[in-house]
Structure formats: structure tokens, C-alpha cells
Amino acid sequence: MSGELTVSPPLIDECEVVPRTLCGPGPSDYWPSVVEALTRPVLTFSTDEYFKVVDDIRNCLKYVFQTQSDLVLAMSGAGHTGMEAVICNLLGPGETLLIAGRGIWDDRACEMAKRYGIKTVVTKVPPHTTFVEQDLEPMLRRIRPAALFITHGDSSTGTIQDLSWVGKLCQKYGALLLVDTVVSIGGAPFLMDAWAVDAVYTSSQKALSGPAGISPIAFSKLAERKIQTRKHDPPFYFDIKMLSKQWNCYGDTRFYHHTMSPPLMWALRASLMELCKETLPASWARHRRVMLHFHKRLSEMPVQFYVPDPMHRLPTITTISLPEGYDAVKFAKYMANELKVVIMAGLGPTAPGGRVLRVGLMGANACEEVADRVVQAMADTLSAMRRSKL
């Protein structure tokens, strides 16, 4: 040995985790089948079993996104991986990205695009509402961007954007439509092909009730042509041209790009199978039913909805304004530590003022029993914190 060790091994104690019901904006509790999937045998690249799992995931994703496109796969990484991949594969330096901003994720997309030398133009509406055609058409007509980025369900504000008209509007002005569905897929209707969406990504830890770290993504035929003819090269790790070969998107390649996480592949497959077994319409209906039940219970409490118009409220995440004098961070901390129910304070535009809570009822936790538990925990916390002020 050429030298002495200068760093000693650390002494690490066991980390005991108190079980809690996860009702924040993510992650969600796992389906039992996902827990089991995480213990499945390790998959190794180039085996038939590996590509059977790959094919299963892709077929499920075509159903979940509602697309006939072949360019459908999953990225190694959190939801931000999908966000960055759709941007850097479809736009290059000097091109213009129009961003429809109403929450923190649109701000993140803007920051990512700027780092690639992409010109960004942001148009905004108040964070408690969503866009209408009159908000976007003048900007598309004037700027003629290469693409429009918009968030479907926004977990920082609790709003959901009607996308049924946006794709056709983008086509009118020659812009691709890029959509974030991280917190909406599986919990609210999304129809990629019918709505003329060109690129979409999601993540597995929200309404899919799986672990974070793997992000489904899909591209339309129009987006695929743009990728094949682009003049720039995105980062190696995000290059969809190469990843499409690893994921055997065209049925004739078994290309090695990087080592995927076998437990995350098994887990994503299991969570997608749960959704396919339930069916999209049934899952959408369940999330909406539980949301309405939760909102009815909330209307009996001394709190207000951050999003006043029910049509703009996201089925998977509800944003709630606490009464004057309450601190959202302390409120959420009390619920987690004392009542073992996790919710979260506001983020991005809902953070200022410190009175907004974000409650997620999605995936495995989208049921009336969990909704009632959250309501009771909130009522107990309101009472406890009121007594502490006396």
C-alpha cells in the first residue's frame, strides 16, 4: 500500500423511521404491490427479462399518456430530469421558449432553458387561477416561439390547467407543446394525442404511488421529427436519440446507454399495472370523488380554499389558507410529529405570508378514509395551536 488511510470509517446508528401517512404534495405512500416489487431480483442489461420489463413499462405508458407514439420511455432521475430532457432535446441555443407561468415549476423550466442558451419569454396569470385562450394566443402570434411550456397540474398552487384547446392553438402558430404532468397523471384526465401534446413527462412518486427517481416521458411524431433533424446536441445523459435505442422504442435495438435502477424499473412497472388494472376513467373518478368529499369536510372548518374557483382546483392536491395568526410550517410540523400525518406548507407563490398548506390525496391515499383522517388531524392541530396562543 502506497499510503496510510486518513479517513476513519464513520459510526452510523440505525435510523428509526416513525410511520406516517404521506398526504403532502408528494411522495405518496406505496401500493403494496410496489413494496413487493422493490424486492424483486436484480435485472441485468441484455437479458430477455430486462427487455420484457422495458416493453411492459412502455406499453403501460402508452395507455397512461393516451398516445400511439413509439417514442415513449422512462428517464433515470426525478421529475426534473423529464423537464430538462423535453426542453434540451427539442430546443437549441437561440430558439425561443414561451413559458406559461403560474407556479414554481414554470420558473424552474425557465431557469433550465436559459442555461442552454434558449431565449425565454414568460407570460403569467395569478397563481390561484389558470390560462384561457385570450392569455396565450396574442403571445404565440407575436413571439412565434419554437415551443410553449405549460404545467398541467401545479403542486405549488393546487391548480389544474385545461389543456383541451392549447395544443391546437400551438399548432396554429407552429409551436410545439411541452407539458408537465408530474402531479396530475393518473389523478386527472390527460389525453396526449387528442390534445395535440408534443412532449410530456411525469414522475412516479405522486398519483402513481411509486418511489421517486424514475420519470416517464413521451414525444409526438412531430416532436420526434424535430429531434431527428435538430442542429444541436443535448447532454449525453438526456439524449433521447440514444435513450430511445436503450428502451427499444422501435423494436430493433438493444443499445446500452447507462445502467438503469432495477428496483425502480420493477416499482414503476408495478405502479403502472395498478393504474391499468383500475383503468384511467376509474382512477380519475376516484380522485375527483375523494377531492369533493375532502372539500366538503373542509368547508365546515375555519379555513379557506387558496383556489377560489372549483373548476381550477387540482384533484390530487388541495391548497388551503389558514386563519390569521397561524403559521403553516409550524402547523405541518405539529401534524407530522404529533399526529403522524404529513402535509406541507406553501411553495413558490404560495410560500409568502406563511399561511398556505398543501394537502395531497392521491394514488394509494386517494380514499375517503385517509381524507377523513387528514381533516381530523387538521381540526386537532387548529385546536392545539389555538390553545397554545392563549
Q: Match 402531479 to its residue by C-alpha cell.
A: 183
Name the percent of the chain in helix, strand, coil, to the closest 5. 40, 15, 45
- Is residue 289 marked as binding? no
Distance (Å) of CA 14 to CA 11, 21, 99? 10, 22, 45
What single string gives the DSSP state of each residue in 323-336?
Answer: PTT--HHHHHHHHH
Contact by Cβ (8 Å): 318, 359? yes
Per-residue cell: 179? 407539458
How many CB atoms are located within 10 Å of the residue 307 CB? 24
Instruction: Give the residue from 284, 286, 274 showing the smallest Cα distance to 186.
Output: 284
Residue 237, classed as helix, strand or coil, is: helix
- Angle between helix axes 328-338 and 368-389 (nearest 10 degrees) is 120
Please give the annotated binding residues for substrate, written as ranges. Answer: 358
Please give the annotated binding residues, written as ranges. Answer: 358
